[in-house]
Every structure is written in structure tokens, then in C-alpha cells.
Structure 1
Amino acid sequence: MRLSLGIAASLLALTASGATLDHRQSSNDTDYKVGFTPLKTQWTDTVGTNPWPEFPRPRLQRSAWKNLNGVWRYRNTDNTALSNPPFGQRLESPVLVPSCLESALSGVTGKNRTYSWYQTSFDIPSSWPSENKAILNFGAVDYEATVFVNGKNAGFHRGGYFEFSVDTTPYLKAGGANELLIHVYDPTDLGDIQIPIGKQTLNRGGMIWYTPCSGIWQTVFLESTPTEYIAKLDLVADMNGQVNVTVHSSTNSSSSYEITIHEQNSEDTKATATGSSGAPFTFKVDSPRLWTPTEPNLYNITIKFGSDTVQSYTGFRTISRGVINGIQRPLLNGDFIFPFGVLDQGFWPDGIYTPPSVEAMRYDLQVLKRYGFNALRKHIKVEPALFYRACDEIGLLVIQDMPSLRPDLPDPNNQCGSIRLNPAAQPEFDRQLGLLIEQLKNYPSIFAWTIYNEEWGQGTSAPWPEFRLTDYVRSLDPTRLINAVSGWTDHTAGDFDDNHHYSTPQCGTPFWSKQGPGADSAYDARRIGLQGEFGGIGQYVDFEHSWYKDLDHQTSYELTNSTWAWNYRCQDLMRQLREQVELFSCSGGVWTQTTDVEGEVNGMMTYDRAIIRMNETMWKEETTKLYEAAARRANESSIAVRGMGLEGVQYGMP
């Protein structure tokens, strides 16, 4: 693993200057305690009451900020609550922010958190210029948040996975404490509601649905900004050294700014340029070291915009696709790269959606890297920004899924069947898909976007929405590949032909299985062959390391009764995938999955991260063989199938 020391140092400095919580919150700490969980991690009891002190937004950093994480007050309420906010009251229960209300770390811990009140107070540091604005930032609140400051409605946001900000300046008191009250509504999959929720559920059974996450589950912080400041930064740098940047002003003005690219581990200047806010601007950096999974080179950035100064970073790389020896391939910096990753669901037994700490979150990624993986598929969830920074630094390609709609919306006219999409849900899905792209498109590690997973919320009649949405995503971000449909019903939109098959792979092959209700078919040679999900080999877990304390609730696509047998089966499937690279048109794979999740026991690690099932020597050898097979195939002059009595027969040709 290679770290960007310059980035790490700047973030540590920001942590030191901004991590102190408002002292008024200390009186809230005395009655907080971690709630019940069937399973802890090694980090559960070390979280304390000052969680996630790091500066949470690494692509747009300011020095004057204040972390509001810690123990707040909480009240479970009902659908009439917004008409009578509890201003000036001390709410009954403690809650640890940020953490899902259903989680042990929240201290609330329980079900049916559909309507909630959060309460805290904050002071504005005396060191902040009095003429500056005080911007309140939220990493994510699931699902709708209404923000009150000193009894005034200051803002509203909908979407459980996305950042948003509120300008508190008009509502602040001249001095002293300011009351912050937040109303949260999160229906998840209540009744016939269909919103982006990924794998959260209130009541569904089965092994692939998990405990939901409600409320404030990512960092809350204040920052001091000038009256006119950088509200958003779009920046991508390619393999030729071209930097494309748009600085968005809070006032939508056209004002000049200076941007400086620094060497990775020093303040030495690599390039400096001047642009105008609100308009795309391009400049060149000579001979940059490129970003790849094996050499994740990053560069620090400083932008000065009037009296506003922000820090950022980037990596120089180009993602594309092309035909190599007759086969469509994903390309990184012009070369075929075989992304081989793990389905990464991002659930935790103590925090549900919220990892206990940055250290815990990075642990998963470092394990994957150590055992030979160069990628992951972030599965129908959006992580905190520091997750993507870690992937940038460690060198992991990210296939980022859009959080899916529920796939089983009941049909009131057909009690024997179900429908997959309420037409009224489509516009909101589309809007939040746009939020996803805009929020994450600057991270170098993100390799591809996934719009739909296995028909979940996918339209069931023409015109198929994935064609329109592929064009939409491409308009927002022309620099990534797009996986329009991962698994099952595929109408040929997007850059990938993505097959899901448990346990054995069927990657870029002339054979397939009709797994699920969709119209699967043989590999479509016009697109990149991807094994979007396979593996799923499970192992019964000792109750000490299991979410459920009985074997009936431990399940997977296939089960083994020992770690040796688990590795043997995994090695067998890895060999099959490698043969599909050698014989057919396989260009990437995603193994299920990073960790066990609740009753699903098919992880590379147990749910508590205490046991790594992988034999390190075997997995390193097999992933290396996989990458080597892909490299050999890319360099062959012919794609004739050899060694199986099939000489002269060609597969995967356009």
C-alpha cells in the first residue's frame, strides 16, 4: 500500500484543528451507552463519544471547521411531529451522531424509527471572522431531513445517501449557544413505498435483506466561509496531463481563481493556472506520474478564490474501452486492465451502515488489497467520502452502484404476483442517480457506474429506462464506463455485458443460465464481458463470530463445513474464471463478498472481521494467475480457442 503523505498530513492537521466537539455537548454524554448487538467488532468499544473526528470531505477542505459529531439528544415521534417542533426542550434519549438509529453504536438501538427528532447546540468559534458565513454540512441523513436553527426552518433535503449543506448564518444568535433541531423521516420499505434503499428492509425475510439504517449516519460539521466561496469543485485529470476543472461559486459569479498542483509528498509546485468560476477550464501538467492500482500516485491541489482557500487532490488516469485482438476490453491509461474485485456491501454489526471508525473502514480495504484484489464493487450503497479517498490512496478500482429501489413492491390488483416499479418512483430515482454522479465523479478510483442491479426497480416495459439513463450518466460524467444493468434483464445498454451466476462463473462465454426472471443470453460481443457477481461460497460460523446464534439462520448459495473446504471450492471457481479469460471474452469479475452480513455467511471475513477465511498464499497466487492470463490474452494475435479440440472456433468476435 502506498499513501499520499501530503494528503495524509493535511488531513491530520485539519483533524487536529477541527475535531473538538462543542463543549455544551459534554452534558449529554453521561447517559449514553452502546446498545445491544448480537456481535461486536474489535472497534465497538473504542468508538467513545467523539466518533469520526477526521475532516470528512477530502476533495474540498478548509482550515476553519468544527466537528459536531458526538452525543446529541433524540426522540422517537410520529407523523404529526413537524407541526409542533420541540423547540427549547431537552429530548429524552441520548444518541451518538453519526450512527444509524437501529445500530448498537447509536445508543438508541431499535426498530420503527420512521419519524425522529435530533437535538444539539453549537457555538461559533470566536476565531472565525464575524463577516463569514457558517455553513452546516451533513454527510448523509436517511431519508428526509428538515433542519431548524434557533426555531427557524433553515433547510430540507431528501435522499438517504447524499451530502447536503445549510447556510445557518441568517438564523444565528449574536453570541452563545444556537439550538439545532432536525426532523428525520425514513419509511424504508414501509407499505407500498418505493425509494432508493439498497438492501435495507423493515420486514422482508431471506438471506440478502438486512437491518435498515435511519437518521444521521455520516459526519455533521460546520465550516467558516467568506461571503463568496467555492461551493463545489469538479476536477478530473487524464493520462496526458490534461486537467479539466470547474470551480462553482456560491453566488454563481464569474470570478478568477488560481489553482496549483503540488507534488505528492511535498509542497513543490507541479503546475499553476488561472481560471474563472462557473466555466470549464483546461490546463496541462507535464509528465505526471499516472494513477493505477499498483502505483496509486496522487497530487495535492490548492485553489485560491478571492478570500477563500481550499485544499484538494487528484490522480492522473484515463478510463475507456477498446477492441484488443477482437474483444471489447476495459482500458486504464490505454491498456487492458482486468478488474477483479469483491462485492462490498458495507454493513457492520455494531454500526449497520456506519463503520465504527475510519480505521475500521480502511481495514476491510487493506485486507482486500493484501490478498490480491485490485477492485471492488460498492454494492447498492454510497459510503462516506473518506472511503473513496482510501480507495484512491490504497489503489482499488471502484465499480459504484446506484442504491436500488425495492424489487418486490406489492401489486394491489394481483395478490399472487408483484411489480418491480411504481412509475411515480422513477423521477426520484433519476434525480438521486444524478446526485450520486455529481457527488462522486471526482474520485480517481471510481472506474464505472452501475445503474440497475438485477431488475430491482428497473422498468418492465419499453422504452427501457436504462438507455435514457445511460445517456444521462454519460452527460454528467463522460470519463467513466457505465454498467447499465448488472445481472438478469439486459437490453444491451451501457458498456458491459454483466452476468450473475452462483456459484460458478459464466463470464463472456457462449453458455449461460437463466438465473432470475430476466432475458439472460450468451455474451454480447459488442460490449465488455463482466462477471458482475459469482462465488458466494459460505461456511458455517462459530456462534462467537455469528450474527445469529443458530445454524438455521446461517445460509449462502453453497456451504462448506471447514475453512480448508471453503478455500478449495474458491480455488476451483477461480480456475474456472481464469479459463474463461483464456478461452472466451471475460474481462473482469466480482466475487461475493467482502464479509459475512448478518445471516449471509459467504464473506472473505466473518461479519465481526475477526476471522479471515482466505488462505493468503492461495489467493495471491490465483489473483496473480488471473491477471497474467488476461495480459497474455491481450497480447495474442488470435483468439482461437486452444487445447480443447476446438481449434479454429472463435468466440466473442463482433
Structure 2
Amino acid sequence: MRLLRNTIFSLLVGTGLAYPGSDNRQAPVKHPRAAGYAPKEPPLTTPWTDKVGTDPWPEYPRPQLQRAQWQNLNGVWQYQNASSLDAVQSPPFGQDLAQEVLIPSCLESALSGGHTIGIQGSYTLYSWFSTSFKVPSDWNGQDILLNFGAVDYEATVFVNGKKAGFHRGGYFRFSLDVTRFLKAGQENELLVFVHDPTDDGDYVIPIGKQTLRPSHIFYTPCSGIWQSVWIEPVSTNHVSQLDIDGNMDGQLNMTVHTSAANTTSSALVVVKDGDNVVATHRGPTNQPFQFKVNSPSLWSPDSPKLYNITVTLGKDKVQSYTGFRTIAKGTVDGVVRPLLNGEFIFMFGTLDQGFWPDGIYTPPTKEAMVYDLEMLKGLGFNMVRKHIKVENDLFYRACDELGLLVIQDMPAMRPLQSKALPNCGSETLLPDEAQQAEFTRQLESLINQHKSFPSIAAWIIYNEGWGQITSYYPEFELTELVRQLDPTRLIDSTTGWYDHGAGDFSDNHHYSDPQCGTPFYSTASSPYDDTRIGFQGEFGGIGNNVSIEHLWNDQAAINSINQTYELDLSLEAWNYRSHVLLSELQNQVRLYACSGGVWTQTTDVEGEVNGLMTYDRRLSRVDEDQWKADIQGLYDAAAARTNKTMTAS
């Protein structure tokens, strides 16, 4: 079947939302391309594999805090394997490393040009990366920030032979002030040591679906610098983070965090609709403040209206944006429902793994990443569940623009793994006290770094009990923590099972048929709790095998295809079965208390063949007309259940 080619970008015409400063960046650093770099041949390519080149991801990486001046450090770096964690004590300053590698990329990916090792059973637990850069002369007198989108898992950063900082957590951005280490007008050596244990030994850390031993629903890991790296000049006292929430009443709630965190100064905020200023306000830094925008157009999947925001603090000026919307829960005709802008919204989307055959965790290009989202929007989905992975910020920007709600998972710890005991028994690998504290710290990072994206509607803490301590119920404490950090969204504390009553959702997983807010359930899940939102956190999962040119060409993965919940022998059968399951979900919306669902999944991944598209994004399984009608049927059934008698809670 032909690949879906939607023209969703036409929906964005006339929004007046620009990418401020996008034309003012410094030209990308042209790293010398030594003979050592060349992309490897992956087990499967995508239509974008050959478009990556040696200056990948040229877009400004942080759209909610964007500066006009910046320099992209993406490109060809040097890399070599390190023997152990002790290697960080002997940095190879001033030395050429063994080979060249593309940044950003996963070392295990073909695009990296390093090792294509994930499918060959080798490990990259310890790695060195290096590059050099010059600071533009017109940045003299300003402080210089070195920014990393994400490094998996621990990064120790050296600049010109001096340790500049350390960061732990494979999914979260970080910035280092490297001003004091730099040499004006000269090349500056940047050296990064990365330790990524994934699921080696007794490590219990947030890894999502990565594993050193790929098998069916667990995939090739990603090690190294897998999101963009860039530098930018700032004032000594500069904006370090913006917390922005615009609600349906036009109230803008903001906190302008600064590098001088213990002091209070004044920041000027200007809100624009296109070129028209709709509000200005001067507020204190490092503490919350509020002001009103009169009669804003509200953000929703049907009308994803966004407003530009400029924040000026002294000489520091940053661009951002927001959408005005309110996400809540309330009782509608006796059923607890999710509400968007005061009205029940049936949230329906896919389980979105975010894996790529050529880049593993790193999409080959922004165009490729957005293509998946456009496909979903074109079929009528209004939501995507970002499954135990955190994407780069441009992913969430695209969801904001397209009008796709996001249910965001916290990456899981050590899923479904156990260790052998001396008595020949085994026990599930769960976090100890220190590992649980680190999970909590990284959960805070997830919320704080993403709570200003208008599209995010809900947070998920635990998926199917993976890494969830069973001797007590940590989800209650973590739910309260998330609620304190972000009271503006819903919380799905335990999607799937091990549900003890925490959070806003009564969330069931059931393959291959739904059990959404129903008076029947399977023992793996919990009975529907009518004090919370009835939700089908995962269902579907039906598969259709394809020819080798669309499969991840690894024999172990191919051998695991028969572990799929159901295999349909033809596309006609697959679409028939999809229609049956979507019709069954529609009946549950009509008869019971189903408020949303998540279809598994957007694309195939390695040994899984249950995607709307194959892993290479070249083959779509869906009968478009049928799927559009079935999805619209869900929304129509939900609309028929309400006469708009609502009570907010």
C-alpha cells in the first residue's frame, strides 16, 4: 500500500507563529571530514537515511527558550571506546581519537559511523568524544553556555583540559557555563566521557525499552551524545528556564528563572499574536507571577493556536511561545472524564516508541520525525502517547503546532528483568533506595523541562509495573510530587497494572481487545474504578508480517515476530481485525465509561510488526478511509454521551 502523504503543514498557514531568531544563528561549524567517517549500512533504511549528511539537525534545538545568536556543534566528531569507568581519570587531552562519529547519533546506529554494534552483541559502556570550536569574536565580553540536548547516560565534560561539569540522566538537556575555560580567538578542545550501563550488571536506571540483549519488545540501546550540542552567548545574569502556562481564561502564569537564582530582578514579557502585541507585563524573576491576555483564541487539536512570547532581562532576550488551554478532569453526566477547555475530550492516539532503524533513538532528520506525527494527525488521531522515551524539544513543538495532545511517559527502570540468586532462585531487579531516589530526581527533570509545552496533557509515572517497587506503593508519593511540580495536568500513575488507586486514571491494558471503563477485566489489570477516568492505555497490537525489504534484517528479531499478540496473514485481514477492535472500543464508549485509548502502535520496531507503518516508514498498512471513519466514530460516540452537564474536580 502506498505511504501516507498528508499536507498537514497547510494547517499551520496563517497562525502567525514564526521561529524567532531562526535566521540569526551562526553558521554551523564545518568540522573537517576525515576519511574515517562514513555512515554504515543499517539493517533497514528509511527515506531520510541518505539525507542526513555531515551537518545534521541544523535547527535551533530549544524552541521554548531561543536566542538569536548561537553556534551549532553538531557534525563529525572523534570517538574511541574506553576500557572502564576509571578511564575518566586519564583524559586523552590533545590527542586524536580512534575514529570519527556523527553527532548527534547513537553509537549503536548506522548513522553514527562508529559501531553498528547493538545488533552484533557488543557493548559501548564507556566512550570518549571530542571536537573543537572557536567562539565568534563578536561574542567577546559575554558568558558562553555549552548546551547538550541529551547524553545517554552519564557525561563528564572537559574544555581545554579542565573539567567543566558532570550530568547524569540519558533523556534530559543540560547547560554548562564554560566561559572561564575558553581561549579567545583560538580553537577550544571539547572532550566528553560517557558512561552508559543500560541494563548491564546490577544497574537499575531509567532506560525505557533499551537493552543490551534485544528481544522482541525490547530494542537496540542508544549510547552517547544523541541530541544536539550548541553554544550561545549570554549576559552574566541570564534567563535559564521559562515556566509558562496559559489557561482558558487568558491568564498567563509564568516564572522566569535566571542564572542568579537567589536574587530578584525584573523581566519584561511581551505576548504577540503574529505581529500584533496582545499583552505586555513586567514581572519579578525567580518567582511566579500572573497577568491576563484578553479573549485569546484557545489551543485545541482542532485549532492549535499558539502565541509568541519575548522575555527581556537586561541585555538577555529570549523567544518562547504558549497556547491557552486548560486540562482538567470532571464529572460529566455521572462519569469522570478528561476535560480540555472545560469540555469532555475523548483522547485517542498511538503508542509512539520513537525508534528508527537508521538512527535508533535519534531520528535521521526533523522532517522524518514530523512525518510520523503528520501521518497520525492525517488519520484523525488527536493524541500520541510518548512511550517510555523522551524526545528532543522539537518533537513537542511539532505536537504543539499540529494539535496533537501528548501523554508523556517517564522512562522505565529495568523492565521485566531478574537476577540469579546463590540458591539457584531468582528475584526481580528493582531499585534500591539510592536508585529510587535517582529515579525521583529524573522524574522531576522530566516535569520541569517539559511542563511548558501546551500539547502535553498527562504524565505517566509507571508502565506495567516496570521498575515499580512492590513492597510499598511509591506511586502515591510520586503522584503528589508531580502534582506539586505541575498542577495543570492529569497524572496516570500506573498504566497497565499494579494499580493501587493513585492518580487520575483507571488505566487498563488488554491485547488484542479493549476493556475500557467496563464492568469486565482480566486478572493482569484492575477492575474499573469509577472515581477516576476510564482509559485503555494500550490495546490492539495485532501484527502483519511483511517481506524482508521492510523488516529489521536481524535474524533474532525476525525469529521473535511470532511472539506478536496476533498475526494477520494479509493487509485485508489486518484492516478487518483493526475495524473489529475499534468498533468494540466504540461500543464501550457508547455503553460504559471509556474516555480514551492508545492503539499499539505507530510503527513496527525491530521484531515487532504491529505498526500502522513498517519500521522503514515505506509501507502503510492502513485502509485510510476505514481508519478515518472508525476514529471519527469514537469521537461521535463520546460526543453522544454528554449533554454538557459537568462538574469540575
Q: Structure 1-normalised TM-score?
A: 0.94
Counterparts in 2 of 1:171 and 1:459: CA distance versus 1, 3 Å: same
Aligned equivalents of 2:426, 2:500: Cα separation in 1: 23
Counterpart position of 1:125: 136
Counterpart position of 1:644: none
8 Å Cα contact 1:535-1:570 kept in structure 2: yes
Cα distance per residue 1:176-210 (max 9 Å; x no partner): 100000000000000111100000000253x1010
8 Å Cα contact 1:19-1:53 kept in structure 2: no
Aligned equivalents of 1:347, 1:20: Cα separation in 2: 29
Q: 2:192 matched to 1:187?
A: no
Counterparts in 2 of 1:10 and 1:636: CA distance versus 1, 3 Å: closer
Q: 2:263 matched to 1:256?
A: no
Q: 2:67 matched to 1:59?
A: no
Counterpart position of 1:388: 396
8 Å Cα contact 1:196-1:429 kept in structure 2: yes
Aligned equivalents of 1:227, 1:67: Cα separation in 2: 21
Counterpart position of 1:371: 379
Measured after TM superposition, the shift of residue 294 of structure 1 is 0.7
Residue number among 20, 31, 35 corresponding to 2:40 in the alignment: 35
Counterpart position of 1:646: none
What residue ranges of structure 1 are gaps of 5+ in the alignment? Answer: 639-653
Map residues 353-364 of structure 1 onto 2, 5 A cutoff.
353-364=361-372
Q: 2:640 matched to 1:632?
A: yes
8 Å Cα contact 1:4-1:297 kept in structure 2: no
Q: 2:12 matched to 1:3?
A: yes
Aligned equivalents of 1:179, 1:74: Cα separation in 2: 14
Residue number among 13, 21, 29 corresponding to 1:22 in the alignment: 29
8 Å Cα contact 2:343-2:644 kept in structure 1: no
Look up the SS of the partner of 1:31 in the other structure: coil
Q: 2:75 matched to 1:70?
A: yes
Residue number among 384, 402, 413 corresponding to 1:405 in the alignment: 413
Q: 2:242 matched to 1:233?
A: yes
What residue ranges of structure 2 are gaps of 5+ in the alignment? Answer: 1-7
Q: 2:298 matched to 1:290?
A: yes
Aligned equivalents of 1:636, 1:303: Cα separation in 2: 39
Q: 2:100 matched to 1:91?
A: no
Look up the SS of the partner of 1:91 in the other structure: coil
Q: CA RMSD in A?
A: 1.6
Counterparts in 2 of 1:621 and 1:118: CA distance versus 1, 3 Å: same
Aligned equivalents of 1:633, 1:99: Cα separation in 2: 47
Q: 2:223 matched to 1:214?
A: yes
Counterpart position of 1:44: 49
Amino acid at match of 1:558: E
Measured after TM superposition, the shift of residue 623 of structure 1 is 0.6
Measured after TM superposition, the shift of residue 278 of structure 1 is 1.0
Residue number among 116, 138, 141 corresponding to 2:151 in the alignment: 141
Amino acid at match of 2:95: Q
Amino acid at match of 1:508: G
Cα distance per residue 1:143-170 (max 9 Å; x no partner): 0000000000000000000000111101
Aligned equivalents of 2:285, 2:162: Cα separation in 1: 32
8 Å Cα contact 2:332-2:644 kept in structure 1: no
Map residues 119-518 of structure 1 onto 2, 5 A cutoff.
119-128=130-139, 130-205=140-215, 207-252=216-261, 253-263=263-273, 266-407=274-415, 408-410=417-419, 412=421, 415-424=424-433, 425-462=435-472, 464-515=473-524
The structure whose RCO (Cα within 8 Å, separation 6+) is larger is 2
Look up the SS of the partner of 2:588 in the other structure: helix
Aligned equivalents of 1:429, 1:628: Cα separation in 2: 40
Amino acid at match of 2:127: S
Amino acid at match of 1:523: Y
Counterpart position of 1:526: 531
8 Å Cα contact 2:214-2:220 kept in structure 1: no
Look up the SS of the partner of 2:194 in the other structure: strand
Counterpart position of 1:552: 559
Amino acid at match of 1:531: Q
Aligned equivalents of 2:534, 2:622: Cα separation in 1: 26
Cα distance per residue 1:232-272 (max 9 Å; x no partner): 11110000000000001111221111101100xx2110111
Counterpart position of 1:613: 621
Aligned equivalents of 1:509, 1:307: Cα separation in 2: 58
Amino acid at match of 1:116: S
Measured after TM superposition, the shift of residue 553 of structure 1 is 3.4
8 Å Cα contact 2:17-2:307 kept in structure 1: no
Counterpart position of 1:105: 111
8 Å Cα contact 2:16-2:275 kept in structure 1: no
Aligned equivalents of 2:189, 2:246: Cα separation in 1: 42
8 Å Cα contact 1:430-1:469 kept in structure 2: yes
8 Å Cα contact 1:420-1:455 kept in structure 2: no
Counterpart position of 2:3: none
8 Å Cα contact 2:270-2:309 kept in structure 1: yes
Question: In the comparison of the two structures, how many residue pairs are matched?
Answer: 626
Measured after TM superposition, the shift of residue 18 of structure 1 is 2.5
Cα distance per residue 1:78-106 (max 9 Å; x no partner): 11311110000011100000000000000
8 Å Cα contact 2:135-2:184 kept in structure 1: no
Amino acid at match of 2:106: C
Counterpart position of 1:575: 583
Counterparts in 2 of 1:549 and 1:226: CA distance versus 1, 3 Å: closer
State the identity as a percent: 58
Amino acid at match of 1:97: I
Aligned equivalents of 2:243, 2:138: Cα separation in 1: 30
